[in-house]
Amino acid sequence: MNEQELLPHLFRTEYRKIVSVLCASFGIEHIETAEDLVSDTFLAAAELWSLKGLPPNPVAWLYTVAKNKTKNLLKRDDLFRNKLSPEIRYHTAASELPELDLSEQNIRDSQLAMIFTVCDPCIAPEAQIALALNLLCGFGVQEIADAFLTGREVIYKRLSRAKEKLKQEQIAIEKPVAAAVGDRMDRVLTALYLLFNEGYYSMVADSVVRKDLCAEAMRLAYLLTEDAITDTPAVNALLALMCFHVSRFDARTDERGEIVLYADQDTRLWSPELVGKGTFYLNKASQGTQLSRYHLEAAIAYWHTRKEDTAEKWEAILQLYNQLLQLEYSPIAALNRTYALSKANGKEEAIAAALQLGLSGNQFYHSLLGHLYTGIDTAQAIGYYEEALRLAHTPAEQAPLLRNLERLSNPAHESHNP
């Protein structure tokens, strides 16, 4: 990897680590100081590496420069130093100032503390995701704006307001203790779930951005499993869910970036390795007595990785959806259940269930009804597909709807062109 490729890669992987350690050391009120120090470190790397070439160990170089810049700040700013946490508050000579602890363990602890800080309830969910992408994942403002399909200025203001709120509330950046995990874990898992969905179900055409969002959500979930206090059954269930979904990521779109429906996916593109990892974490999640939505959604996702189209598979999925809706109702889960119902009990029963949902403003609702009416009432099917097309946001979403309308409008042509 050359310098032009390496520096952006290191910015994504190391920026977040150093920022987390500095924030944990300085406190939330100095979050901009931490970001400035790390940005200066990478600016120095960009300038020196372009002149002198890459150092033997680029990561060690970055850590050394970050440590030196932190020491210089503490040395020249007594007022700043005296406000810091006791761990790095020293009134000794500059030569005795402590080094920034960038050990692997302290990086993990600091990032874990930052996850719970970013997910504090004083911040709105959409701001939590943006802040997580910025501080925990190393995403720039423009990248976050692209992921949210919004403007750079909107994201900049969202991040600024979230950081200011954390300061106003004086939220401590500290590794969670066992007694506090139960109350705060739900919010953390919700934020990671939403972050993952932002990538997996994103309307962003750039598949690299979408995969990066999913990968970062998985990395943060994995970080939670590495600590005994946060390694809970629900965390493992969420990570299993992510693994199962990502195992089918490459089959969900074709070479043109258009959406490929589940029934049409090339199962050869599914990842057996990720299915295996998902199964491992789902088995870990079976410990304990509490059943979360993530357990049920992970089990549903597991059955979707089974390639055979059997009655047993769809009956299992249907029953899991029934449990999920009893535990935590959502219109989207009810809509997804309807497809499983059609596979298990037939289209007529599924149509009756779908019509009761009344999700008239949802394109997937109309698309599903178009599918259910296909082979039963062609006119109805076309009408629902046309309404779904009207509600679709992107060409990638519109493509399968147009294909279905073409099949229904020109059945003879379809029969000669399978």
Residue 345 has pLDDT above 60, yes or no: yes
- Position 205 scores a pLDDT of 59
Residue 90 has pLDDT above 50, yes or no: no
Residue extents of the structural domains in the chain: 4-102, 105-220, 359-418
Least confident of 61-65, 75-79, 153-157: 75-79
Work out the mean pLDDT of the chain and round it to a whole number: 89
- Position 62 scores a pLDDT of 97
- Position 3 scores a pLDDT of 66
For range 22-28, the mean pLDDT: 90
Residue 179 has pLDDT above 90, yes or no: no
Q: What is the pLDDT of residues 101-147, one digit of tens each?
A: 999 999 999 999 999 999 998 999 889 999 999 999 988 898 888 88
Q: What is the pLDDT of residues 222-263, one digit of tens each?
A: 999 999 999 999 999 999 999 999 999 999 888 887 788 898
Q: What percent of the chain has pLDDT over 70?
A: 90
- Position 251 scores a pLDDT of 93
- Position 36 scores a pLDDT of 94
Convert the chain into a string of H (helix), E (strand) and C (coil): CCHHHHHHHHHHHHHHHHHHHHHHHHCHHHHHHHHHHHHHHHHHHHHHHHHHCCCCCHHHHHHHHHHHHHHHHHHHCHHHHHCCCHHHCCCCCHHHCCCCCCCHHHHHHHHHHHHHHHCCCCCCHHHHHHHHHHHHCCCCHHHHHHHHCCCHHHHHHHHHHHHHHHHHCCCCCCCCCHHHHHHHHHHHHHHHHHHHHHHHCCCCCCHHHHHHHHHHHHHHHHHHHCCCCCCCHHHHHHHHHHHHHHCCHHHCECCCCCECCHHHCCHHHCCHHHHHHHHHHHHHHCCCCCCCHHHHHHHHHHHHCCCCCCHHHHHHHHHHHHHHHHHCCCHHHHHHHHHHHHHHHCHHHHHHHHHHHCCCCCHHHHHHHHHHHCCCCHHHHHHHHHHHHHHCCCHHHHHHHHHHHHHHHCHHHHHHCC
- Position 91 scores a pLDDT of 36
For range 333-349, the mean pLDDT: 97
- Position 362 scores a pLDDT of 92
